[in-house]
Amino acid sequence: MSYYIAPRFLDKLGVHITKNFLNLPGVRVPVILGIHGRKGEGKTFQCQLVFEKMGIEVTNISGGELESPDAGDPARLIRLRYRETAELIKVRGKMCVLMINDLDAGAGRFDEGTQYTVNTQLVNATLMNIADNPTDVQLPGSYDSTPLHRVPIIVTGNDFSTLYAPLIRDGRMEKFYWEPDRDDKVGIVGGIFESDGLSPREVERLVDTFPQQSIDFYSALRSRIYDEQVRDFIHKVGFEAVSLRIVNSAEKPPEFKKPDFSLSNLIEAGNLMVGEQQRVENSQLVDEYNRLNRGSKNYTPAPLTPGTPTSQSSGNEFQKPKASNTHLSLETQAQIREILGQGHRINFEHVDERRFRTGSWQSCGTNQINAEWDAISALEGYLTEYEGEYVRLVGIDPKAKRRIVETIIQRPNGKN
């Protein structure tokens, strides 16, 4: 199976790596290339294809290795892997790179509930030091004056705004936002289904049927087509005998005939997968459970685990109430859009009529929101949940850590 490499991706990665191995007079080349974009778009896999095409050897670090119960271990690991990669360049006589996957998951700070640990500080400081002095990277407790070979560093992530700002500044990190366009998607999906007999026209129709889906959706779709044969195999040998039949069995591995990869079958399976995605998004069972518990007299919020982000998917870690039929005015929506467009955050507060006279406002339970849809959805729910109370919108400047606007959206005896 031959895979498709997006030309833009190949050019960006190839130029960055090659520049780091050249001596360009008077030119300061960033050591780090940060590839970011939404989840499931094949950032890491595209990197692997480029490395294979260019004959580059890779030393990998996972974002999960950037935290440890022992302070200083992740920073030492980065320095050690960097020095090992520099030695590989010298010994193998070929291009080598250091790659850190999901850097924002290991070193990012998503909200006030994410503890900024000593290791997080040291990881950021270490990467900044390497970016500034790529030929002088020492291990703690030892010093070697011999200059190292410069090693390009490739990092991937979803949201680099969660990283320490001085680390991602120009000069230290070159940024590349990866969002495949339709042609890229057609090429990549065509490579996924190349051995399955889909024509270029059918590949285009498949991509156009699910335009909002990421690249990993199509890989999962191809795997899904085999489910029926695997299910038949399990029923044939029996659930009790599957383990003995497959693992350490004297018999040859089971063989499966090529399933039906017709366009209609793929679209049918894809629609089922989309339906499952929507059920996950719409269920909100945890939100309902939390809302019920908030109303309980004996309810006590569970403490956050130190050093553990409350969520790492979107950075909006708040408990959204169930959506309601309350419709916001265009004026309110415009105000939300204006606040977020200025880079500020939004929170919501409520108070009953008695406490309103003393100004004893209470938070509705959200953290600071930075996405328009999330803010509108949350506000619509709160207008229903706190019907008969005052509800106000609060605009917050996260840098100055101060309120910039307070607007009452709902009054007990007035219109929203």
Query: Residue 304: what pLDDT?
Result: 41
Cα separation, 364 vs 321, whole angstroms: 10
**Are 293 and 299 a contacting pair, CB within 8 Å?**
yes
Query: Residue 132: what pLDDT?
Result: 94
What is the per-residue pLDDT across 176-185, written as a single tens digit (0 to 9) for each?
Answer: 999 999 999 9
What is the per-residue pLDDT across 313-327, written as a single tens digit (0 to 9) for each?
Answer: 333 444 444 434 446
Which pairs count as long-range contacts for 199-206, CB under 8 Å and 24+ apart, including other chains? Answer: 202/263, 205/263, 206/263, 206/266, 206/267, 206/270
Query: Residue 177: what pLDDT?
Result: 95
Query: Residue 255: what pLDDT?
Result: 87
243 token code pair: 């383990």
Cα separation, 364 vs 29, whole angstroms: 48
Cα separation, 280 vs 337, whole angstroms: 27
95 token code pair: 């291009």
Cα separation, 160 vs 175, whole angstroms: 9
228 token code pair: 């029926």
Query: Residue 230: what pLDDT?
Result: 92
Cα separation, 29 vs 26, whole angstroms: 10
Q: How far is CA 306 from CA 69, 106, 319, 356, in A?
A: 11, 14, 19, 35
pLDDT tens digit at each of 416 positions of the chain: 578 999 999 999 999 999 999 998 889 999 999 999 999 999 999 999 999 999 999 999 999 899 888 888 999 999 999 999 999 999 999 999 999 999 998 888 766 555 567 888 899 999 999 999 999 999 887 888 889 999 999 999 999 988 889 999 999 999 999 999 999 999 999 999 988 889 999 999 999 999 989 999 999 999 999 998 899 999 999 999 899 989 988 888 888 888 889 999 999 999 999 988 888 877 766 666 666 665 554 544 444 443 434 333 333 444 444 434 446 788 888 889 889 888 888 999 998 888 888 888 888 876 778 888 888 888 888 888 888 899 999 998 888 888 888 899 998 876 55
Query: Residue 320: what pLDDT?
Result: 41
Does this model's pTM top 0.75? My answer is no
